[in-house]
Amino acid sequence: MADPKKLYIKTYGCQMNVYDSERMAEALGGAGYVETQSPDDADMILLNTCHIREKAAEKVYSELGRFKGLKAEKPDLKIGVAGCVAQAEGEEIMRRQPLVDLVVGPQSYHRLPELEARAQGGEKALDTDFPVDDKFDTLRHRPKAKRGPTAFLTVQEGCDKFCAFCVVPYTRGAEVSRPAARIIEEAQDLVERGVREITLLGQNVNAYHGAGEGGDWSLARLIWALNEIDGLERIRFTTSHPNDMSDDLIEAHGTCEKLMPYLHLPVQSGSDKILKRMNRAHTAESYIRLIERIRDARPDILLSGDFIVGFPEETEEDFQATMQLIREVRYGYAYSFKYSTRPGTPAAERPLVDDAEASDRLYRLQALITEQQRAAQDAMVGRTVKVLFEKPGRLPGQMVGKSDYLHAVHVADPALSVGDIAEIEIIESGANSLSGRRAG
């Protein structure tokens, strides 16, 4: 019997890409591949790329350049590029890097076995279509291997918002929601394999409107259905848009026991002028009022956000409006970035803010966010929280897990195992994590 071929996948970017990489590995598993952790051992190298961050495409080309020597040593090695850079660059990838054998977009990776077979036959295989066949239906049945206690589950893809800075509508396409029954089936399967916490994923996840019994379901209705699965203990979702934070979803945060008290709700700016330039279709005031409603439903919820500084035409006054919004909301986490141009987006043609000024604004914003994050962590000391333990720590007998609020928690207790959920009293707040002990 021939030895299995080895697949090395490197994943860039968001949680959805992590999910997609898992599915790509499963698709190629049917073609005789098993995963390896080293490109040196691989018969196929697959880069699952992200196009959100600055110079994303150039970083991919740089990574591909590192494989030239390996390709020379192993002429039968196949190299592929998947994901959003693949969608955006297409044939240009193969032109610039002839060592690439296949390119596949994020909506077509269920066709990987066919593309791999073509590559094995000496063809250059390219598929960046938005196919009518459902990739999730094609890859419906996952292998029954044991899983860790947490998992991502994509429920929605694409975005119809067309923010002026964002490439997602062009690389992931229009908003598409998976049927509710398929998601529930996949969630049940994950739980049977050891998963206790599921994070529902979407580029605009709270715009979910999948077909279900009685008509299209909202994200809240889907969450309530998942809440009924025995063995599933925790539900999260990301990433959300403020304009799709519906009444029933806000209510679910206050009443659904398994929905965790954590919400990532990007705002990007606190200036109405900049929000309009970004095509966000909400104001700073409407965002603040929305936060108040969410906190009325779930007073202890921990909030996370996204911010872009130095967006074209942003003034110091606009930046100070963002700082004021941050002070008012009081975030437990946030992700912040200096604006970088994405070719093909509406903002790409606008004059840029001075780079040094944008860098200074980012520094000041991140200092405020760090202060708030530390305050949120320090406030946990003395509280008892539930922690789902995911892996052993660095010290003997230590376990590391995530609290209800997504804080990393370290506990020295040899009786704890991966997958356990335990009530933990928080006794210390560190730079980026908490320490605790068994309550009681």
Binding-site residue ranges for [4Fe-4S] cluster: 14, 50, 84, 159, 163, 166
Phi, psi for 53 (deg, rounded to 5): -80, 165
Q: How far apart are CA 96 and CA 65, in angstroms?
A: 10
> Using an 8 Å Cβ cutoff, are 175 and 208 in contact?
no
Phi, psi for 410 (deg, rounded to 5): -105, 130
> Using an 8 Å Cβ cutoff, are 268 and 309 in contact?
no
> Using an 8 Å Cβ cutoff, are 268 and 278 in contact?
yes
Show binding-site residues: 14, 50, 84, 159, 163, 166
CB atoms within 10 A of CB 248: 12
Q: How far apart are CA 234 and CA 191, in angstroms?
A: 11
* Strand pairing report for 211-212 and 262-264: unpaired
Distance separating the N- and C-terminal Cα atoms of the chain: 56
DSSP state of 259: B
The separation between CA 107 and the C-alpha centre of its own chain, rounded to angstroms, equals 16
Mapped onto helix, strand or coil, the DSSP state of residue 154 is: strand
